[in-house]
Chains A and B, each alone.
Chain A
Amino acid sequence: MNIELLKRMYRTALTIRRFEEAAIEQYRLGNIYGYLHPYLGEEAIATGAIAAIGPDDYIVSTHRGHGHAIAKGHDVRLMMAELMGRATGYCKGRGGSMHVADLKQKNLGANGIVGGGIPFATGAGMAIKQKKTDQVVISFLSDGAVNNGVFLESINLAAIYHLPVIFIIENNHYAAATPVETMNLQDDLSKYSVGFGIPGFSLDGNDAVKIYEAMQEPVKRARVKKGPTLIECKTYRHRGHHVNDPGLYMPQDVLEHWKQRDPLILLKEYLNNEKAEDQEIDLIEEEVRKLIEKAVKFGLESPEPSPEEFLLEISSL
């Protein structure tokens, strides 16, 4: 494993972790409102999967989307400002936590409707096909979205049109508070791929390196227009569904088991195996700490959107 790539992935996962912690703190302080769905514990998926694609490739995110945005390289200052509803945010404060998007970085956006964004991913795939480029699309979705009609429709559309889309199910074992096993009899959600005649596999969603490696073949396949792949990454949230959900339904021993396999611990092990210097890791941590501090400061110091400008703009609609 390339040590520079490993360091980059560690930095990404750590940035997500610290961003979410800071966002929760700002929520508690009342500087962020609405819904906030932390990606804590799931950092490896966005980190590993997005490391395997390029800046010109698309992603479509979910309501739990901060991790995808950070892994795609978004400016955490503009993200924090968006979470705070500020004019400087990615969406000028019109979207908030559930709707961070950056079209310049080819993130078509997070989504407030579970499953709602999946068709946009097949659409981006169709646009790529029409334009005859070799870009690919990652459609992130949750285990809850698997039971939504558009998931099944979209995976089939991607299959029959051979669209360059990689569907990644982030199975964190709960649709809000509902355990996945009570809503799906299938142990491995990637088995849906069989019904649609496309490749699919399940893997450890806490191991960013394994995810990165597993992405190579699906990405290659997508780039040569051989069609989609369905990947299930099994993981577990470190907290409840949203910031105000204590997650009491999550059994303590199961949570502990997953926490011992924290994506950051695993990445650090890889770094140690590759003989990364402790100093280098400390340096990354220091950089990330400062980055997040700046993001919070930027958000707090940013102006609120102007009511006058808003009313003027919508008066012509």
Chain B
Amino acid sequence: MAEIKYRDALNAALREEMERDPLVFCIGEGIGEKGGSFRVTDKLLDQFGSERVIDTPLSEAGFVGLAGGAAIAGTRPVVEMLFIDFTFLVMDQVANQIAKYEFMTGGQGKVPVVLRTQGGIGNGLAGQHSQSLEAMFCHIPGLQVVMPSTPYDAKGLLKTCIRDDNPVIFIENKKLYLNIGEVPEEEYLIPLGKADIKRKGSDITIVTYSYMTHECLKAAEILGQKGISAEVIDLRTLVPLDEKCILDSVDKTGHLIVVHEAPTRGGYGGDILSTVIEKAFYSLEAPARRIAGKNSTIPFNMTLEKLCIPSVDEIVGGAMDVMNS
């Protein structure tokens, strides 16, 4: 099995799907000649030409809506939204138009569009280029939300999303693009709504997704040295959510923390905890906790920036608190 970068896995998914289906096209800012700011669309222009790898002006609402209309009219657009922060510019098109279209037309029209974007803190990009906004999309009926953490998941999920008939917000993380992982040569797809247990354990369940999966795995390693066996669940897709995987795990371990980079307040972690409390309260042997981002705008300064998202130490500490309470 080849080891490739996260961004190259995404690139391979796009290439394969464009080869397979002539109705798939990519559209976004600087995705052609430049290959995208994170090189995800690298060299697609050479193979597919400017009619299918379409550079846009900085008209985010215009081209996201265009992709929606093109999807309704029978194509399968994959949009690259350079930063998730820019989605605030396009929320009418995403939330009022694309997300609601099938419902409001009484099921007449599907909108098979994938909106690829990326979030998270990273390299001192400050508050308008570092956010984690997934909860906002999870809240809107009609959208599916996908957040892969590994090259393997990124490729298999993106291919599935492109073939899916309904809109998907596909959120990458800027800290993951250069991560390397095993990706098979042969074709594979990963279904939506299927979490992945990235590490098996028996004492505590850690539910997470995207970049934080890796931090949680590091934390689980440390917890292991302290004699605590942590199970790390990578949700992979937030909507639809694999509730069963979470509930089964909590039933087994009796302890739970939820970890994400996004601010704690109004974050998706609250929803996970609520789900567990509603459906598996008596499985819990101790109060469950969220270990999530600070309720702060992300600062530019790189030392301060890191303070805004959970560290491995905080995850370990949170898990220990739950185990000891």
Contacts and interface: CB of A to CB of B under 8 A. Distances in A.
How big is the B interface, by class? Answer: 35 or more
A264 to B, nearest CB: 31
B92 to A, nearest CB: 6
B105 A130 contact: no
Contacts of A160: 57
* Residue in B57, B101, B106, B109 with the greatest tally of chain A CB atoms within 10 Å: B106
B283 interface: no
Given A58-B73, A108-B72, A112-B96, A123 B106 contact: no
Nearest to B141: A317
A156 B62 CA distance: 9
B56 interface: yes
A92 B72 contact: no
Contacts of A307: none
Given A119-B65, A120-B69, A95 B97 contact: no
Contact of B72 (A116, A123, A128, A154): A123
Interface in A78-125: 89-95, 99, 101-104, 108-109, 111-113, 116-125
Given A91-B104, A101-B109, A120-B72, A156 B57 contact: yes
Question: Which 9 pairs between the two chains have the least Cβ-Cβ distance?
Answer: A123-B69, A119-B65, A153-B62, A120-B69, A127-B73, A92-B106, A153-B59, A91-B106, A123-B70
Nearest to A112: B96
Contact of B56 (A89, A121, A157): A157
B107 A156 contact: no
Contacts of A317: 141-142
Interface in B95-137: 96-97, 101, 103-109
A91 B105 CA distance: 5
A306 to B, nearest CB: 13
Interface string B307-321: 000000000000000
B25 A130 contact: yes
B63 interface: yes
Contacts of A130: 22-23, 25, 51-52, 70, 75
B74 interface: yes
Interface of A: 58, 60, 89-95, 99, 101-104, 108-109, 111-113, 116-131, 149-150, 153-154, 156-157, 160-161, 317
B162 interface: no
B293 interface: no
B138 interface: no
Nearest to B142: A317
A120 B108 CA distance: 15
A193 to B, nearest CB: 17
Contacts of A101: 104-105, 108-109
Interface majority SS (helix, strand, loop, mixed), chain A: helix
B23 A131 contact: yes
A245 B52 CA distance: 47
Contacts of A103: 72, 105, 108-109
A112 B95 CA distance: 13
B93 A150 contact: yes
Given A95-B104, A127-B73, A127-B75, A120 B96 contact: no
A108 B106 contact: no
Nearest to B61: A150
Contact of A119 (B25, B51, B62, B108): B62
Interface in B27-74: 51-52, 54, 56-57, 59, 61-74
B104 A118 contact: no
Given A116-B93, A119-B93, A131-B74, A154 B104 contact: no
